[in-house]
Amino acid sequence: MGKPIYLDYNATTPHDPEVIDAMRPFLEKEFGNPSSSHWYGTRPKKAVMEARRRVASLINCEAEEIVFTSGGTESNNHAVKGVAMACREKGNHIITSQIEHPAILEVCAYLEKIGYEVTYLPVDEHGMVRVSDVSDAITSKTILITIMHANNEVGTIQPIAEISELAKKHGILLHTDAAQSLGKISTDVGTLGVDLLSVAGHKLYATKGVGALYIRSGLILTQFMHGAGQESGWRAGTENVLEIVGLGKACEIARRDLEKNMNHMLAMRDRLYDGIKTECHQVRLNGHPEKRLPNTLSISFHNYEANRILEKIGSEVVASAGAACHSDTVEVSHVLKAMGTPLDWAKGTLRLTTGRHTTADDIDRAVQVISDAVKRS
């Protein structure tokens, strides 16, 4: 038996061959420190500069506004803690949503322990933040709004541009975690109107251990990591040249092939959903029916247990569950809880996410395997 069909692209992505080729010289030959002024540091320094331009080009900002990090989690920590500490004299209130990634929720929980106040906004039944709720939550002490661009579980795309108008009106900084949206939909910092934006390399067909943070020019944050002053003083530590080069190439590919990849992932996602709906009864779609990532399909099977379905399909199809069922309890994801998904539906939730390499044959086989497993459960 060969490898199972991979439908978990929101968890991580395989390395793009072009990314691997771009990284290879810096794994095999170019070992120099980009901070060194001698011959061995020249090419690594130029490579980091080029990677920075490529990341900036993907999100339509200046290269100087990009800071390389170890990944999306660090970028989120840097953004939220950096604003919180820098703006402490102005206020101590942060607005976020109940469906954020733990890399935001846990940061906010930490800040609450040291005296900050956090409002966790509810979402509607589609996982959408209401702009009116954001407006109602703003106080004279609000210093930051952090709302993800698109949700990792159900794919709902948030109204960031509208939230930005509110933030600007009140002089509040806006951060968005764009780990899931980059490379899947247009992610332009000017159109979105954000002050900070987080990037995760391994969601973009680059490697794990690298990411980036967009920091709007002129913004003052508290320094996240202290040391020799790399990354224009924002983040100390010798640059991870190998993976930075890979991230730069991944962003170049994402920009170049955005429309093609978006259309392909959407076609595969809809083919999967249509097939499962045809084969199975009582299937519920989670997330917004239209304002949703083109690759993300979160579906629930009524009165089924997702982990049992995954056990049956695991050797042939790889996916994620929206709930973990134990002997006497069911742990439903915080996203489904916030959306108010009934337990009899939530416990049978699968997240199926397509990617660039997903084929029609993969989808047709996955439909058969999943449908058979549901019918046997």
Structure tokens at 58: 């993907």
pLDDT at residue number 334: 95
Sequence-separated (6 or more) residues with CB below 8 Å from residue 61: 189, 190, 214, 216
Q: Which of 214, 183, 163, 177 is nearest to 293 (CA)?
A: 183
Task: Round to whole Å and give the CA distance between 315 and 318.
Answer: 8
Task: Round to whole Å and give the CA distance between 181 and 148.
Answer: 9
pLDDT at residue number 229: 77
Kindly report, residue by residue over 320-372, the tens digit of the pLDDT: 998 555 445 568 999 999 999 999 999 999 999 999 999 999 999 999 999 99
Q: What are phi and psi of 187, to 5 degrees?
A: -135, 90
pLDDT at residue number 35: 84
Confidence of residue 235 (pLDDT cuts 50, 70, 90): confident
Kindly report, residue by residue over 105-142, the tens digit of the pLDDT: 999 999 999 999 999 999 999 999 999 999 999 999 99
Computed over every residue of the chain, the mean pLDDT equals 94
Cα dihedral: 54, 96, 291, 101 (round 10):
70
Burial class, 3, CB count within 10 angstroms (exposed 0-12 / middle 13-18 / buried 19+)? exposed
Structure tokens at 115: 């005296």
Task: Round to whole Å and give the CA distance between 294 and 300.
Answer: 18
pLDDT at residue number 360: 98
Strands 211-215 and 142-146: unpaired
**Active-site annotation holder among 61, 251, 280, 325:** 325
How many beta carbons lie within 10 A of that of residue 224, not counting itself?
20
Domains in the chain, please, with CATH?
A: 5-13+258-376 (3.90.1150.10), 17-256 (3.40.640.10)
Mean pLDDT (whole number) for 55-81? 97
**How far is CA 77 from each of CA 201, 229, 270, 335, rounded to the nearest angstrom?**
16, 18, 35, 21
pLDDT of 266 higher than 60: yes
pLDDT at residue number 226: 84
pLDDT of 1 higher than 70: no
pLDDT of 4 higher than 80: yes
pLDDT at residue number 329: 58
What pTM does this model have?
Answer: 0.95
pLDDT at residue number 223: 84
Kindly report, residue by residue over 172-184, the tens digit of the pLDDT: 999 999 999 999 9
Is 325 tagged catalytic?
Answer: yes
Kindly report, residue by residue over 83-107, the tens digit of the pLDDT: 999 999 999 999 999 999 999 999 9
pLDDT at residue number 323: 59
pLDDT at residue number 327: 44
CB 152 within 8 A of CB 101: yes
Task: Round to whole Å and give the CA distance between 145 and 151.
Answer: 16
